[in-house]
Every structure is written in structure tokens, then in C-alpha cells.
Structure 1
Amino acid sequence: MPLSEHEQRLLEQIERALYAEDPKFASTVRGKGLGKPTRRRRLQGAAIFVVGLVLLVVGVAVRQLWLGNLPVLSIVGFLAMLGGAVLAVTSIGSGGQSAEGKSSTGKERGGFTNRMEERFRRRFEQE
């Protein structure tokens, strides 16, 4: 379920505050490899998927490569296809600006916390 614009703005504010408070922890939590979209990773994923598809078809077609009644090469091909698809899909990012590139001052940090607390209080008062 996609986030509403308001929720996305809140999430971005929380991310900026986290980077401002502890950038080392924030970069550790965010991770280095999967979060950043790269064309190279998408191409690698697509190539692995195609190789897996070829292995799957060849494994089914060539009966001598079977181990008993089990098409081993086809299973390896399927796993390669799955891995390639996961690699390609996880490389697709949101396209938004990274919170690392945005700077915040100490005043904004305190203001952010105060605003969030005030919003939280208002929600409970409305209910």
C-alpha cells in the first residue's frame, strides 16, 4: 500500500532528523548496496535472469542432465532466474532526493521534535 503525500513528507522529515542526529547509524541502517538504484545492477540482474532461463530450458530439454527423475540444471536455472529478478527489482529506487544530501541545523532539529510532539498531542485531543 503506497504512502500518502503527507506520510511521505513525515517519513522524509524523520529521515532527515535521523541523519542530523546520528549520520553513522543512519547510513548503517539504510544499507549500502540495495537502496541505491544503479543501471549496472539492473543489467546484471537481467543478464542473470536470461542465463537462468536458458539453463531452465536446456535442463528440461536434455534428458542426460537429469539426476534420476530430477532436472537438476532446470532447478539451478530457476534459482538463477529468481536471483536475477530479485537483483534487478531491488535496484529500482524511489527516485527521490537522499536525506544525506540535505543539511539541517540544530534549530530545525529541536523544531522538528517539537512539531512531531505537538501533532501527536493534537491527534489524541481530536479523538
Structure 2
Amino acid sequence: MPLSEHEQRMLEQIEQALYAEDPKFAHAVRSTNPQVHYKRRIVKAALGFVLGVCALMTGLVMNAGTVTIVVSVTGFLLMVVCCVWALTSWKRMTGVGSEAAPPGGAGGGGAAGRPARRERSKRGFMDRMEERWRRRTEGE
């Protein structure tokens, strides 16, 4: 929704006051791109994943009993956490998954009047069986 003229003037006044009060901070905030932040997080997650692989391999090579299991499990968990962290950062950076689904489901009606895959998955097993039975008895 676009801002009204009054709101735009108020924003400009706030921006000018911020520049007058702390120009270094205002310049840093204005020039920061959020995608750079998410790219850094993805790189850190990739490094953490590699570190997790190294820890997992070290745990597999070691012959120290329970320490081996702890190091291996820690490496695996680090890999999983870094994958999740990288995927969430990538989703936020690209905006994937933030749009609402189009009305009527993702694929529309489907062939022969079947409901869309997304709608079908929401219904229970018994509902689907009843629908199939009804179609059979009605001769469709």
C-alpha cells in the first residue's frame, strides 16, 4: 500500500533527523542489503557442515570407545543443524515459500473431475473410500 503525502513527509523528516544525529549509523543502515546477511549465513552454515563432516569422520576413525560415539553424533547433529540453518537463510533470501498458494489449489481440478492433490491429501482415508464407493454405486 503506498504512503500518503503526509506519511512520506514524516518519513523524510525522520530520515533527516537521523542523518543529523548520527550520519555514520544512518549511512550503514541505508546501504545494508539484507541478502548480504543471508549469504553470509549460508557460507557459515556450509563451513559448519564441513566441520560436522570432519567431526563425524574423526569419530569413525577414533578407537576410544564412548568418545567415538559422542564425537560422531555431535558431528552428525552439527551437519543437520547447519543444513536447516542454510535452507532457512536461502528461503528468506530468495523469498521462496512466502507467497500464498493460488486460489483453487496448486494444480487446479485435475483430470476426470478428481480433486487437486493438495485437497485430496487434506481429506482422511475414510472420506476417500466413501467417495470411491459412492462413485461406484452411482455408476460414474
Q: TM-score range, shorter-chain basis? A: 0.3 to 0.5
Which of the pair has the greater relative contact order for Cα pairs under 8 Å at 6+ separation?
1
Q: TM-score, normalised by structure 2?
A: 0.38
